[in-house]
Amino acid sequence: MFTTLASIARLTRVGFVLAREGALALVDPAAVPAGPARWGLALARLIERRNAGASAERLAAALTRLGPSHVKFGQFLATRPDVVGQRVAADLSLLQDRMPPFPVDVARRTVEASLGKTIGDVFTVFDAPIAAASISQVHPALTKAGRKVAVKVLRPQVRERFSRDLKAMRRGAELAEAFSPEAKRLRITGVVDTLIRSVTMEMDLRLEAAALSELAQNTKADSDFRVPKPDWELTGRDILVAEWIDGIRLSDLAAIDAAGHDRVKLGQCVIQSFLKHTLRDGFFHADMHPGNLFVDAEGRLVAVDGGIMGRLGPKERRFLAEILLGFITRNYTRVAEVHFEAGYVPAHHSVADFAQAIRAVGEPIHDRSADEISMAKVLTLLFEITGLFDMKTRTELVMLQKTMVVVEGVGRMLDPKLDMWRTAEPVVRDWIARNLGPVGRIEDAGRGVMSLAGAVAQLPETVARGERLLGHLEEASTRGFTLDAGSVEAIGRAEARRNRWGNLALWAIAGLLAWQILKG
């Protein structure tokens, strides 16, 4: 009861802040059921601040005012344009997860509790934070061995605070689905549940260390990209220690130019690295904004902060590669066929009609100069059109689209004349030649043979299990099924409960009859 009241109180505060900041201007009154809900919306609009800005800007302002967990929720909604719309998603993607730092003494105590040692036992220097976000903050430090490291420390009580807010969000989503068919169709509760899982993983810094380790293993042969190496001995649930990156943030264009780095080459590296990780490895950094990207003294791209990662399976990778190549070569029929082969578009639709719709997306880009063509925009328009053909939302593809928007923005920031399609083509063609050409088919056949060999090797055991099962069934058909003592006892208890309720019912009926007789 107390938990429910607390959730209602938090939802009330959220509603007030959204109304005050004017974020409810985004709600279409026609989509709200007539009656109390529509009256409530009209009343809420009366308390809006004047000159609050555009409606999407108001939503970002409201989420910032509500605090870290709501900022995180807004950033997550930026990956779901199918839920909030393209314009709102674009504005929410600009939300900055920047919070005031918590005291160094608190961070020291967290580190000491995690390591079971004093700060002086591990570090000779532990400086003030250089970056602070909703879940953690980062401190530069120097180990006893003389290595400079970055120490990420979880905020105190962050799990409890996020848990309370996310429970309230879940309750709000349930209420929205109860009163709005559109909210139910969009599965708002599923959106919140996905956020809860994502945040839960972010709050265990060992998982971030594992993500950095996996990305490092995947890219160990890449000469132009790397990630910081985590120190597993000094990493725990609440702290992550990784090598310090001496580099220039990609947002500092003046420093990049002063250091003599080639911005054109660097822009190409950002795009091609992302596509390699996505297509080749199926595992990509999903938060590649300029603050998380550096260029080191050797000109290599360095990505930090592995808290948000994305994965694509083999089917999704093939889908991405073939649609990109289809747009590059203007083979719209093939792009349409890939959608049907992947099962993304229901078979009752026409491939030719779908190809015609895709042509409406692809043809305009071939009449424009390279620096005017946005790969991310093409994918956005493509997903809009697929909605007309009953294509269901694929979370992994939406995350990919969101990341591509950010990556493309970084690439064009470094080189405004960047040709996205020409930059992407060699990576896409190499992947298709490697995986869908003769070599890939031979490897697929080899994997199939290995799977078949494994199944054959297990065949005797499978046959033996089948014979034993048939024997048990034959015995049961003649003697009946034998129940163990625990099952018999459980059935006895159930029967006793049923008999008690049956007896009570009989006594109640008898009492009613007696009362009727006496009354008569």
Active-site annotation, residues: 287
Provide DSSP, 469-509: HHHHHHHHHHH-PPPPHHHHHHHHHHHHHHHHHHHHHHHHH
Rounded CA-CA distance 304/292 in Å is 5
One-letter identity of residue 462: T
Give CB contacts under 8 A, 24+ apart, made by 139-147. 139/104, 139/107, 140/244, 141/241, 143/234, 147/243, 147/244
DSSP state of 458: T
Rounded CA-CA distance 241/212 in Å is 12
Nearest alpha-carbon partner for 170 in 23, 4, 307: 4
Token representation of residue 444: 């697929």
Please check whether residue 335 is in contact with residue 321, taking contact to mean a CB–CB distance below 8 angstroms: no
Provide DSSP, 141-194: EEETTS-EEEEEEEPTTHHHHHHHHHHHHHHHHHHHHHH-HHHHHTTHHHHHHH
- HEC string of 242-308 equals EECCCEEECCCHHHHHHCCCCHHHHHHHHHHHHHHHHHHHCEEECCCCHHHEEEECCCCEEECCCCC
Phi and psi, residue 226, nearest 5°: -160, 170
Polymer length in residues for the chain: 520
| Distance spanning both ends of the chain, measured CA to CA | 47
Rounded CA-CA distance 341/380 in Å is 20
